[in-house]
Amino acid sequence: ILNVEQSPQSLHVQEGDSTNFTCSFPSSNFYALHWYRWETAKSPEALFVMTLNGDEKKKGRISATLNTKEGYSYLYIKGSQPEDSATYLCASPGGSEKLVFGKGTKLTVNP
C-alpha cells in the first residue's frame, strides 16, 4: 500500500515570511508527484505535477522540487500572503489511475 506522508501537519507564519513543507513517498516504482492547494470552501486546485528527479517547478511565489531517489518533494512559498492560507496536499499514483493523497499541511498566514 502506497504511503504518502506530509509534514508538518499545520503551520502558522506571518505575512511576508517564506516557508516550506515536505511530502515523502516511496522511491520505488515512482511515476509522478502531484501538489494541490485546497482553500476552505473551495475546490482543490492543482499546483504542479512533477515526474523527473531533480525537477523544479514554479508558479508565481510558489515553487516545488522533487527528489525521486530519496522519495521527497518540497513546496516553497516565498513572501507568504494571507491568501496563501490553505491546505496543501501532495499525492502520488498508487498504480494505474489511482492517486494516493497525503493528509496535507494546513498553512495559516497571519496579516
Partner 1 sequence: DTEVTQTPKHLVMGMTNKKSLKCEQHMGHRAMYWYKQKAKKPPELMFVYSYEKLSINESVPSRFSPECPNSSLLNLHLHALQPEDSALYLCASSQDAGGFYNEQFFGPGTRLTVL
Q: What three-state secondary structure class fits 84?
A: helix
Interface mask toward partner 1 for 51-90; x: CB under 8 A: x-------------------------------------x-
Query: Closest distance between partner 1 and the C-beta of residue 106, in Å?
Result: 10
The answer to the question of residue 42 lying near partner 1 (CB under 8 A) is yes
Pairing of strands 105-110, 86-95: antiparallel
Scan residues 6-25 and list those touching partner 1 (CB under 8 A).
Answer: none
**Which residues, 6 or more positions from 27, have their beta carbon under 8 angstroms from its beta carbon?**
68, 69, 70, 71
Rounded to whole angstroms, the Cα distance separating 70 from 92 reads 14
Smaller CB distance to partner 1: residue 44 or 72?
44
Q: What is the Cα gyration radius of the chain?
A: 13
Smaller CB distance to partner 1: residue 43 or 70?
43
Peptide bond into 8 cis (omega under 30): yes
Smaller CB distance to partner 1: residue 28 or 43?
43
Question: Which residues lie near partner 1 (CB under 8 A)?
Answer: 4, 31-32, 34, 36, 41-46, 49, 51, 89, 91, 93, 96-104
